[in-house]
Chains A and B, each alone.
Chain A
Amino acid sequence: MDMNQYIDIFIEESKEHLQSMNQLLLKLEETTDDLSILNEIFRIAHTLKGMSSTMGYMKMAHLTHEMESVLQSIRNKEILVNVYIIDVLFECFDTLEEYVNELIKNGAEGDIDPKPLIEKLTGIMNNDYASTDISSIRDNENNDFKQTNNINIASKFSIELEEITRNAVNQARERDFNSFKIKVVLTHNCMLKSARAFIVFNTLEKFGEIIKSKPSAEEIEDEKFDSSFEIIFITKLDERTVAKEIQGISEIDEVIIGEIMAESSDDSVLKDKLVEEVAEYQVEDIEHSSIDTKGKKSKAKTSKTVRVDIDRLDNLMNLVSELIIIKTRLEDIEDSKLNTNMDDAVEYLERITTSLHDAVMKVRMVPIERVFNRFPRMVRDLSKELGKEINLYMTGEETEVDRTVIDEIGDPLIHLLRNSIDHGIEDPNIRERLNKPKAGNVFLRAYPDGNNVVIEVEDDGQGVAIEKVKNKAISKGLISKEVVENMNDHEIANLLFKPGFSTAERISDISGRGVGLDVVKTKIESLGGLVEVHSEANEGTKFIIRLPLTLAIIQALMVTIGEEKYALPLNSIKEITTIKSDSIRKVQNQEVVLFRNNTLPILRMNEILQVNEVTEDSDEMIIVVVKKGDKTAGLVVDNLIGQQEVVIKSLGKYLSGIKIIAGATILGNGQIALIVDPNSLF
């Protein structure tokens, strides 16, 4: 049977499945024992396996099959989930995604070898890596402490190894670190217990890492403990030295110390094998893996949907656009003839076309979730790679935007997020020095705002280094020194978007490849949007993207300039006013008027649009006040025609690159009017 006709559906569905598996696995990483998540992953993996083997993609099928077995064992509690397994599963997802991408490009699954991964998976299955190790830790927890001469051993530790600590201990052992449980009992007359405990912590941290304490560090700090506390400590030192170090601190009554023995001698062969596999997973990773997606817990919901080719929707959209043009034309006729019946009919037609337009628009709307979904995973990987702990908070995933926007907005957002994590968020030790929480926070928000959708990427990092940007901009010759001196911090920060600007001192894999933020800006402007940056030194940086809800039909104000008609997008118009021509003043070659106690730059549209006819200055001038962000300007026009719904048509490739013209629209009488892009005037 010819499968080619199904390949598109296969690709589309596999992508969705991989996306949801990624999300679910992230959730599983947080709450390791949620069986429902596991079941869901298992179900999806099973579907994917079925699909790929039906299509004859044997590598994919094979890999998913092995994945499924591992998931099955986890489900049956034969294997306990740990960071290693989760990482391997993520690797599997990545490889599967590569197969799918290969399919898109070449129509075949390509020649990535799934073997190494399959071996890893069977490794997890067969050598009982997880189960023996972890259970042996468990067995040994209470009774395998070695006795030494000068230290008392109490068999009773109440501190317990959790999954994550156990893994840390495991991995520490692979790297020849010792793990100890230490119980410190303070003298009864100790006055400042938390301070004493703090000294113990400090002392120990010179020699290793405290991975857990009971009571928790916060509780100890608040003196919420009796006279003793317990910690789990990973170090290169031996037991005796550690004990001595602690006993050297005053007001300590007793130190009980025991090594955590994680394995019996007979599986040392196994251990060697494991060292290879686990070596790259550093102890720190465990702490950094706390990526927090505060999304709502949504179960994959099944709804009645139809998959429609976007081209068909575009076609429908075009037809609706034509209908709107005809409607406008009828309105024009109606103006000339006074006929009430006609009036009613046209009004009714208008109502219907408006709802039809809304309906079609809605069909094309997709929740921005589609784009946001892949970010938690990306941030997780990034934070591991950079050794920075990052919490990603996403809100407003349900905000709907046009499908065309969805397809285009992903890359700019990735760029901004990477930028925030790589350049914005400081290294953990710097953050601690600055009294900031060790984990950096990145916020990704989306919300509708009138006819726009706003997306914000915010971090609580170091902010834009204004001086650095200044110097860089000057040294790169992007701007002259005199101009920079007159700029405020906000304007300087926005120099980041200039082409050829990149402040990264070291080129990293993440960002700062010299491409810089101008790519982001270009992309967003091509979508009819705006981007700006707000930054506060040491408080953080916030990128604000404003996008139009729809790209096809807008509300516009029709004006005449000379004899020509132009459309001004309504969403950038603040107000319309008239001014006396003698109130115009000249400041540095720029005409301005005082308007509502602000100086408003005046732009003569007939000059800007190269209109030949010279219109004489009348006493009163019509000014359309347009805004971009918090900037305003007054456009001089000759006449106002009225508000109208216009369908944006591109001027085509041949006339691309005219900044001031956003496109053209066909008027009711068949004439073409150009749409002015007021944003380009600032």
Chain B
Amino acid sequence: MAIQEYVLFKLDSEYYGIDIHNVETIEKIMPMTRVPYTRDFIKGVMNLRGNVVPVIDLRKRFKLREKEYDDNSRIIIAKLDEVTVGMIVDSSSEVIQLVEEDIDEAPSLKGTNEENFVKCIGKKNNLIIMIIDLYKALDINSIEKDL
């Protein structure tokens, strides 16, 4: 049976997961430089060992209320196709394994903010984990349209 690994992270009290294949590294909060004329959830760019990487605030992206960054805050560096993006999350510390039967389809709820970004739901150890659709979370498609 296929086992998939996901990087687990938290926003408020909810758990989310991203396919580990899309995750490059996880960093602590570091200084960022604001970039003008970008969408509000883009916090700026950071220096990741000599590379300039854009960073988005996932709380803002998911339209959650903003929160000061603290010692637990992390930047998950995700890579999707040719695009590398950092995502600020409240905390992230573990990788979980899910088998197929742990995964349910995402309920198509209207009215909540994050429904578009959730690809499917994972269940493990009494946790409900929302697996993120990175294409939608990062809004990759709209970028490619701009190009």
A664-B146 in contact given A652-B54, A658-B38 (Cβ < 8 Å): no
Instruction: State in angstroms the CA–CA spacing of A322 and B147 once bound together.
Output: 29
Q: Digit string of A637-680 for contact with B (CB within 8 Å is 1, else 0)? A: 00000000000011111111111110010100011111000000
Query: Closest approach, in angstroms, between the C-beta of B36 and any C-beta of chain A?
Result: 4
Of the candidates A609, A651, A666, the one whose C-beta lies within 8 Å of that of B54 is A651
A:500-546 near B, CB below 8 Å: none
Interface residues on chain A, size class = 20 to 34
Q: Are B143 and A654 in contact (CB under 8 A)?
A: yes
Set of chain B residues within 8 Å of A119, measured between Cβ atoms: none
Question: Is B33 in the interface zone, CB < 8 Å from A?
Answer: yes
Query: Closest approach, in angstroms, between the C-beta of B83 and any C-beta of chain A?
Result: 5
Query: Closest approach, in angstroms, between the C-beta of A317 and any C-beta of chain B?
Result: 13
Of the candidates A564, A652, A674, the one whose C-beta lies within 8 Å of that of B83 is A652
Of the candidates A564, A611, A651, A657, the one whose C-beta lies within 8 Å of that of B52 is A651
Q: Are B37 and A672 in contact (CB under 8 A)?
A: no
Set of chain A residues within 8 Å of B45, measured between Cβ atoms: 651, 655, 664, 672, 674
Question: Is B53 in the interface zone, CB < 8 Å from A?
Answer: yes
Q: Are B33 and A660 in contact (CB under 8 A)?
A: no
Set of chain A residues within 8 Å of B138, measured between Cβ atoms: 654
Question: Is A265 in the interface zone, CB < 8 Å from B?
Answer: no
Q: Digit string of B30-47 for contact with A (CB within 8 Å is 1, else 0)? A: 011111111000100111
Instruction: State in angstroms the CA–CA spacing of A263 and B1 once bound together.
Output: 87
B:80-119 near A, CB below 8 Å: 82-85
| Smallest Cβ-Cβ distance to A672: which chain B residue | B33
Question: Is A158 in the interface zone, CB < 8 Å from B?
Answer: no
Q: Are B33 and A673 in contact (CB under 8 A)?
A: yes
Instruction: State in angstroms the CA–CA spacing of A655 and B34 once bound together.
Output: 12
Question: Is B51 in the interface zone, CB < 8 Å from A?
Answer: yes
Query: Closest approach, in angstroms, between the C-beta of A505 and any C-beta of chain B?
Result: 32
| Smallest Cβ-Cβ distance to B37: which chain A residue | A658
Question: Is A336 in the interface zone, CB < 8 Å from B?
Answer: no
A:581-624 near B, CB below 8 Å: 608-611
Set of chain B residues within 8 Å of A610, measured between Cβ atoms: 36-37
Q: Are A657 and B147 in contact (CB under 8 A)?
A: yes
Instruction: State in angstroms the CA–CA spacing of A657 and B143 once bound together.
Output: 9
Set of chain A residues within 8 Å of B51, measured between Cβ atoms: 649
Of the candidates B37, B42, B47, B143, the one whose C-beta lies within 8 Å of that of A660 is B37
Of the candidates B32, B36, B52, B146, the one whose C-beta lies within 8 Å of that of A609 is B36
Query: Closest approach, in angstroms, between the C-beta of A605 and any C-beta of chain B?
Result: 10
Q: Digit string of A123-135 for contact with B (CB within 8 Å is 1, else 0)? A: 0000000000000
Instruction: State in angstroms the CA–CA spacing of A653 and B33 once bound together.
Output: 17
Q: Are A651 and B84 in contact (CB under 8 A)?
A: no
| Smallest Cβ-Cβ distance to A650: which chain B residue | B52
Query: Closest approach, in angstroms, between the C-beta of B46 and any C-beta of chain A?
Result: 7
Q: Digit string of B41-65 for contact with A (CB within 8 Å is 1, else 0)? A: 0100111001111100000000000
Instruction: State in angstroms the CA–CA spacing of A564 and B47 once bound together.
Output: 15
Query: Closest approach, in angstroms, between the C-beta of A669 and any C-beta of chain B?
Result: 9
Query: Closest approach, in angstroms, between the C-beta of B74 and any C-beta of chain A?
Result: 19
Instruction: State in angstroms the CA–CA spacing of A653 and B80 once bound together.
Output: 11
Instruction: State in angstroms the CA–CA spacing of A608 and B84 once bound together.
Output: 27
Instruction: State in angstroms the CA–CA spacing of A1 and B93 once bound together.
Output: 53
Query: Closest approach, in angstroms, between the C-beta of A570 and any C-beta of chain B?
Result: 21
Instruction: State in angstroms the CA–CA spacing of A649 and B85 once bound together.
Output: 15
Q: Are B83 and A654 in contact (CB under 8 A)?
A: yes
Q: Are B143 and A672 in contact (CB under 8 A)?
A: no
Of the candidates B42, B47, B84, B147, the one whose C-beta lies within 8 Å of that of A672 is B47
Q: Are A661 and B33 in contact (CB under 8 A)?
A: no
Query: Closest approach, in angstroms, between the C-beta of B4 and any C-beta of chain A?
Result: 25
Of the candidates A651, A653, A666, A674, the one whose C-beta lies within 8 Å of that of B50 is A666
| Smallest Cβ-Cβ distance to B139: which chain A residue | A654
Instruction: State in angstroms the CA–CA spacing of A656 and B31 once bound together.
Output: 21
Instruction: State in angstroms the CA–CA spacing of A488 and B37 once bound together.
Output: 32
Set of chain B residues within 8 Å of A664, measured between Cβ atoms: 33, 45, 52
Query: Which of B38, B52, B82, B83 has the most CB atoms of chain A within a 10 A radius of its CB?
Result: B52
A657-B35 in contact given A649-B52, A651-B54, A672-B52 (Cβ < 8 Å): no
Q: Are B36 and A652 in contact (CB under 8 A)?
A: no
A666-B52 in contact given A654-B138, A656-B147, A657-B147 (Cβ < 8 Å): yes
Q: Are B147 and A653 in contact (CB under 8 A)?
A: yes
A657-B47 in contact given A610-B36, A610-B37, A652-B84 (Cβ < 8 Å): no
- Chain A interfacial positions (CB closer than 8 Å to B): 322, 325, 564, 608-611, 649-661, 664, 666, 670-674
- Chain B interfacial positions (CB closer than 8 Å to A): 31-38, 42, 45-47, 50-54, 82-85, 138, 143, 146-147
Lowest 6 A-B CB distances belong to which pairs? A672-B33, A610-B36, A649-B52, A664-B52, A654-B54, A609-B36
Sample 30 A-B pairs with CB under 8 A, ordered by A number. A322-B50, A564-B34, A608-B36, A609-B36, A610-B36, A610-B37, A649-B51, A649-B52, A650-B52, A651-B52, A654-B85, A654-B143, A655-B35, A655-B38, A655-B54, A656-B143, A656-B147, A657-B146, A658-B35, A658-B38, A659-B37, A660-B36, A664-B45, A666-B50, A666-B52, A670-B47, A672-B33, A672-B46, A673-B33, A674-B33
14 additional contacts (CB under 8 A) given A610-B37, A656-B143: A322-B50, A653-B82, A653-B83, A654-B85, A658-B35, A658-B36, A659-B37, A661-B35, A664-B33, A664-B52, A670-B47, A671-B47, A672-B52, A674-B35
